[in-house]
Amino acid sequence: MAAHDAVEVILAKRDKQELTDSQIDWVIDAYTRGEVADEQMSSLAMAILLNGMNRTEIARWTAAMIASGERMDFSSLSRPTADKHSTGGVGDKITLPLAPLVAACGVAVPQLSGRGLGHTGGTLDKLESIPGWRAALSNQEMFAILEDVGAVICAAGDGLAPADKKLYALRDVTGTVEAIPLIASSIMSKKIAEGTGALVLDVKVGSGAFMKELGSARELAETMVALGTDAGVHTVALLTDMATPLGNTAGNAVEVAESVEVLAGGGPADVVELTLALAREMLAGAGRSDVDPADRLADGSAMDAWKKMIRAQGGDPDAPLPQARETHVVHAPASGTLTRLDAMAVGLAAWRLGAGRARKEDPVQAGAGVVWHARPGDRVTQGDALFTLHTDEPDRFGRALASLEGGYDIEDGADLTPGPIVLDRIG
C-alpha cells in the first residue's frame, strides 16, 4: 500500500479535492493501526462533513472499512439470508418481531444490532431486559442458532469493520455524525462485511431521526442502495415516518412487551404495518415472495420462532419483564383530538428517565420508558391519562416532563387522519 501523509489527505479534502483510492486506502488502514491520530481523523471527518465525497470516494471509503476487518459468509446455510437495518428512531422495536417472523417464513436473519445512544433506542438494550438473555455470541454460536432457529439478534464482534468502530466513536464526540457519506459508509461497511444476501434499509425521516427532511433521507437511502447493489447485496430502502414515535412505548422492557403483543397477533397497528412491510421486502430480496408473513403472525409460528430465538441466547421468554419502581401519569390538559405527538420529545423523555445512556459506558434501566395512551388522530377527554412515565429514580421525572412540554397538540374540533408510515421506496 502506498504511503501518504495525514496532513496531505486533510488538506486535499479541506480544499474540496476528490480523494484518490490510494489516499483513502491508506488513511483508513493507518487510522485503524493508530498511525493516524484521532485529532487528524476528526479534522478529516469534519472536512468530509463540510465538503462531501462523491459516489466513487464513498464506495472506496466503504471498501477500505470492510477491508479493515473480517468478512462473514453465510452461503453454507441451508436457507437464504436477509437482514434489516434502521437508521434509528423512537419506539423503533421493529427488529424484535421482524427477525423471528422472517425466520418463520423460511429465510435466515443474521441481525447484528447496536445499542442506543442519546434519544434513540438500541435493540440490544431492549433485549437485555429479558432475564438471562445475552448479546455477545461467537461466530460459531451465531451460525448454529441461524441454522437451528433461523434468526439471531446479537452484537457485532470486534473483528467486523474495526475502522468503523473507531471512527463512529470519534464522530460521536466531534460533531461529525450527520454526514451522509460517513453514515452511508458506516452502515454499509458493517452490513456488507456481515455477508447477508439481501438487505432492507429502514431510513427514518422526521424530528426523531438523524435525517429531518425527506430530501436528505432520500439521498442517504440512494447512496446506501447503490453501495449495497455494487457489492452484490440485493438492497432496497424504505423511507419511513419518524415525526411520530412508533407504537405506544419507548424504552426497554416496555418495548419488548409491545413486540410480544405483535407476535401474539395484536399490538399497535403502525408497528404491525411496518413489520409486515419490511418482512415482505426481506422475503422478496431473498426470493421468497411466495410466503405471506401475515399468515405466520396469525398462525403463531412467528411467536414460536421468537421463543426459540430468546432461549437459544440464554433468555427466558416466559419470565416476567422488569418493571420500574416509580410511575408518573400525565393527564390531558384539555379535550379534543391529539393532532401531534413529537418523536424527539418522547425519545428525550425516555432517555432522561434512564432508558438510554449519556455516554457509551453508562448502564441503562430495563424498566424505564414512556407509554403513551393516545396516538395522533385519537380523541382525548380532559383528565384522561395521556402518558405514563416509568423510572427507578423519581428525581428523573422533572426533566422528562420538561421534554414532553410542547411535544404534543390537542385541538378541539379537529379531525386528523394519520399519514402513511412508508413514505417512499428506493431500489
* Residues designated as active site: 85, 164, 171, 186, 190
In the complex, what is the shortest distance from the CB of residue 351 to ligand URA, in angstroms, rounded to a whole number?
Answer: 17
Whose CA is closest to 95, among 255, 265, 287, 320? 255
Residue nearest to ligand URA (CB): 186
Q: How far is CA 334 from the centre of its chain?
A: 35
* Helix (H) or strand (E) segment spanning residue 242: none
- How many other CB atoms sit within 10 Å of the CB of residue 211? 23
Q: Judged by CB under 6 A, which stretch of 176-184, 270-278, 288-296, 352-360 contacts ligand URA?
A: 176-184
Nearer to ligand URA, 186 or 248 (CB): 186
User: Which cell numbers hold the place of 263?
Assistant: 407476535
Determine the Cα–Cα distance for residues 302 and 266; give it in Å rounded to an integer.
13
At residue 205, the 3 state secondary structure works out as strand
Q: Where are the alpha helices (DSSP H) in 286-339?
A: 293-298, 301-312
Nearer to ligand URA, 4 or 13 (CB): 13
Q: How far is CA 417 from the centre of its chain?
A: 27
Q: Considering the rule CB under 6 A, would residue 58 count as an interface residue with ligand URA? A: no
Selected from 61, 168, 351, 387, the binder of ligand URA by CB under 6 A is 168
Q: Judged by CB under 6 A, which stretch of 178-186, 291-299, 304-312, 351-359 contacts ligand URA?
A: 178-186
Nearer to ligand URA, 185 or 313 (CB): 185
Nearer to ligand URA, 149 or 187 (CB): 187
Determine the Cα–Cα distance for residues 333 and 386; give it in Å rounded to an integer.
9
Q: Kindly identify the residues of this chain, within the stretch 78-117, that bind ligand URA according to CB under 6 A.
A: 87-88
Contacts of 291 (CB under 8 A, 6+ apart): 105, 106, 283
Nearer to ligand URA, 203 or 282 (CB): 203
In the complex, what is the shortest distance from the CB of residue 376 to ligand URA, in angstroms, rounded to a whole number?
Answer: 26
Nearer to ligand URA, 223 or 391 (CB): 223
Q: Judged by CB under 6 A, which stretch of 52-60, 73-81, 175-183, 279-287 contacts ligand URA?
A: 175-183
In the complex, what is the shortest distance from the CB of residue 308 to ligand URA, in angstroms, rounded to a whole number?
Answer: 28
Whose CA is closest to 113, among 89, 83, 143? 83
Q: How do 379-380 and 336-341 pair as beta strands?
A: antiparallel
Nearer to ligand URA, 61 or 168 (CB): 168
* Helix (H) or strand (E) segment spanning residue 315: none
Lay out the site mask for ligand URA across 186-205 (x = CB under 6 A, - = otherwise): xx------------------
Determine the Cα–Cα distance for residues 122 and 110; give it in Å rounded to an integer.
17
Q: Considering the rule CB under 6 A, would residue 66 count as an interface residue with ligand URA? A: no
In the complex, what is the shortest distance from the CB of residue 408 to ligand URA, in angstroms, rounded to a whole number?
Answer: 27
In the complex, what is the shortest distance from the CB of residue 210 to ligand URA, in angstroms, rounded to a whole number?
Answer: 6
Whose CA is closest to 107, among 287, 347, 341, 356? 287
DSSP state, residue 175:
T
In the complex, what is the shortest distance from the CB of residue 231 to ligand URA, in angstroms, rounded to a whole number?
Answer: 16
Q: Judged by CB under 6 A, which stretch of 128-136, 151-159, 182-190, 220-228 contacts ligand URA?
A: 182-190
Q: Considering the rule CB under 6 A, would residue 160 count as an interface residue with ligand URA? A: no
In the complex, what is the shortest distance from the CB of residue 227 to ligand URA, in angstroms, rounded to a whole number?
Answer: 13
Interface size with ligand URA, residues (CB under 6 A): 8
Nearer to ligand URA, 176 or 252 (CB): 176
Q: How far is CA 326 from the centre of its chain?
A: 28
Determine the Cα–Cα distance for residues 329 and 331; give it in Å rounded to an integer.
6
In the complex, what is the shortest distance from the CB of residue 186 to ligand URA, in angstroms, rounded to a whole number?
Answer: 3
Q: Considering the rule CB under 6 A, would residue 61 count as an interface residue with ligand URA? A: no
Whose CA is closest to 168, among 191, 141, 186, 144? 186
User: Which cell numbers hold the place of 11?
Assistant: 488538506
Contacts of 20 (CB under 8 A, 6+ apart): none
Instruction: Give the binding site for ligand URA (CB under 6 A).
Output: 87-88, 168, 177, 182-183, 186-187
